[in-house]
């Protein structure tokens, strides 16, 4: 069996992100991925057994890489500061990695996304979940609501802000990020 080349595997995943950005998930054809990567379709199957395997791999790789980029301040920093740092980093990351976040949104709303993937995502995003649960346990964030409602509010807010920025409705800068955080903080705090 032929050995996998990590550089080529990364290129395959990057090309897949490009195709999804251009054409959506349905536009991903293994033959086109192979053509753009400049390998034979049979060589592509050395890396991924089918389209579903490829998309799933790109999804978990994208989520893992995004979470690794987020630096949550140390536990001795005030909770509100740690939360703001996380919030602003998420917005900036979504703005700088538009293709990746667009892919994640499409994948999670597709038939490729399976219920058991939530557990894998939780393991990847453990630090973020721990921070939210800590805020609830310390009665800083609303403790009577499900943690996933907090996540939904944050995700929806940050997604919409980035969308408004990308369509020219607003120009996200540090001041607008602070203003939006203030609104989110008021909605989430105890």
The tens digit of pLDDT for each residue in 169-178 reads 999 999 999 9
Give the mean pLDDT of 68-78.
Answer: 81
Distance (Å, whole) CA 46 – CA 62: 21
Q: Which residues pair with 189 in a beta bridge?
A: 141
Would you list the domain boundaries of the chain? 72-188
Tell me: the pLDDT tens digits for 81-131? 999 999 999 999 999 999 999 999 999 999 999 988 888 888 878 888 888
What's the mean per-residue pLDDT of the chain? 92
CATH for 72-188 is 1.10.357.10
Q: Which residues contact 109 (CB under 8 A, 6 or more apart)?
A: none
User: Tens digit of pLDDT for each residue in 33-45?
Assistant: 999 999 999 999 9
């Amino acid at each position: 069996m032929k050995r996998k080349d990590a550089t080529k595997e990364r290129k395959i995943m990057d090309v897949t992100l490009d195709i999804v950005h251009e054409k959506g998930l349905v536009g991903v054809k293994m033959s086109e991925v192979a053509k753009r990567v400049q390998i034979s379709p049979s060589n592509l199957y050395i890396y991924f057994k089918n389209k579903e395997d490829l998309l799933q791999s790109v999804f978990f790789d994208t989520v893992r890489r995004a979470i690794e980029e987020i630096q949550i301040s140390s536990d001795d920093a005030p909770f509100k500061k740690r939360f703001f740092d996380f919030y602003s980093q998420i917005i900036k990351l979504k703005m700088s990695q538009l293709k990746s976040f667009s892919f994640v949104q499409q994948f999670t709303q597709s038939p490729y996304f399976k219920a058991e993937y939530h557990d894998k995502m939780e393991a990847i995003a453990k630090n973020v979940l721990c921070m939210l649960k800590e805020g609830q346990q310390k009665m800083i964030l609303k403790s009577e609501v499900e943690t996933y409602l907090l996540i939904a509010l944050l995700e929806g807010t940050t997604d919409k802000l980035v969308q408004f920025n990308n369509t020219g409705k607003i120009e996200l800068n540090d001041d607008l990020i602070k203003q939006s955080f203030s609104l989110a903080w008021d909605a989430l705090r105890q």
